[in-house]
Amino acid sequence: MATSLINTTVLTPKKLLEDSAVVVSDEGKITYVGPMEDVPHVDGRQLDLNGYVVTPGFIDVHVHGGRGIVFGMPNEMEDDLRKYSEWVAQTGVTGFLLSIAAPDAELLTAIIEIYAELFGKEMPGAEPLGLHLEGPFLSREKKGAFNPAWLREPDLGETEAFLNAGRGWIRQVTLAPELPGAEEVASKFREAGVVVAMGHTNTDFETASAALRDNWNHVTHTFNAQRGFEHRAPGVFGAVLASDDVTAELIADLIHVHPGAMKILVRSVGVDRVVLITDAMPGAGLDDGVYDLVGHEVTVKSGRATLEDGTLAGSTALLSQCVGNAVREVGVSLNHAVQMATLNPARVMGFVDRLGTVAKGKDASLTVIDKDVNVFLTMVKGKIVYQNL
């Protein structure tokens, strides 16, 4: 059924279009974006949004789960994926990468293979866009919440097995560049069209800078689980600031990164290069409690997820909250905050031909919010999967 969203403000997100409308075809494509006075008449439903804001659907490219679900649990993967898809759509997310890990190569390969089969099935809410392998080729010195037994040196044989099992669904891999064999493995992933992200790394400025000029083109949760900045040893963060076009993830939950540091990142590299993520774990969307994540027991208290020793272990944030925090705490415009959760991740991960902007011909994967980033409607490929108007 065709749908007309009328009396709305549209954030494309590069432009703000007031007193506008969006028309969606039966096929789930956007056929019109423009002023109300020129909106074409189509047969189908008409939703009066009364000034609410239409944005591209939010895209989370780094998330481990939520609402009690952790990705990659054997025997529960399809059911969990469907439940997560339905729940996360209520938060404005229309697409996501599943961040996964496993204790050994055999199990990780099996998990990848199962997801590659599942991704061909229709989901009730947000669209699974592929996989993010966070590990196993990470630094034990900057392991974060990972069980160190799950981490090892890069291996070409494992890499080939992962890629073969994924059949094109692996979109991103996090890899520490200082590890032996990292360059060869990074090259293999890039040849397969995978985004190689620098993360969980204790490397120095020089090694990081060389990597970011070579096969690494993205940075996993900037600031977190990486060597920090010092004026005589700029570290990974210094390499990010000194780079020309590398994109940088940011967990804007106000727990992982101080608002002042967030401002430094955004003002230094610009809004076009920052990608908002949640790095959410199973406790997202639920009350405080104890949860399992990447081989550890994680306690959530007052929304803060930690290991027994106090190490942060993912977040409980929603992407809509991160967008709102970027506006309130970083001082960017709503347009720019939305861009960092829509256009930027779509561009980095190779989905910008159909996602990331509100434009004629694109998939009608849209989110309707107010100016405080409360979510009122989510549409995925023309289908309304959540509504609270």
Say how far apart CA 176 and CA 184 lie, in whole Å.
12
- Active site amino acids: 279
Annotate 197-228 with DSSP letters as a single string.
Answer: EE-SB---HHHHHHHHHTT--EESSTTTTB--
The enclosing H or E element of 3 equals: strand 3-11
Say how far apart CA 202 and CA 235 lie, in whole Å.
8
Say how far apart CA 140 and CA 143 lie, in whole Å.
5
Annotate 75-106 with DSSP letters as a single string.
Answer: T-HHHHHHHHHHHHHTTTEEEEEEEE--SSHH
What are the phi and psi torsion angles at 334 (to 5°)?
-60, -40
Phi-psi region of 301 (alpha: psi -120 to 50; beta: other; left: phi over 0): beta
Query: Each residue of 362-384: b (16+ CB within 10 Å) or e?
Result: bbbbbbbbeeebebbbbbbbbbb
361, 6 Cβ separation under 8 angstroms: no
Residues across the chain: 389
CA-based nearest residue to 285, from 81, 26, 91, 78: 91
Count of C-beta atoms within a 10 Å radius of residue 196: 23
For residue 323, give every residue at least 6 positions away whose Cβ sits within 8 Å of its Cβ, in sequence order, or none. 58, 252, 276, 337, 338, 340, 341, 373
CA-based nearest residue to 118, from 70, 88, 85: 85
222, 246 Cβ separation under 8 angstroms: no
Task: Name the amino acid, one letter, at 358.
Answer: V
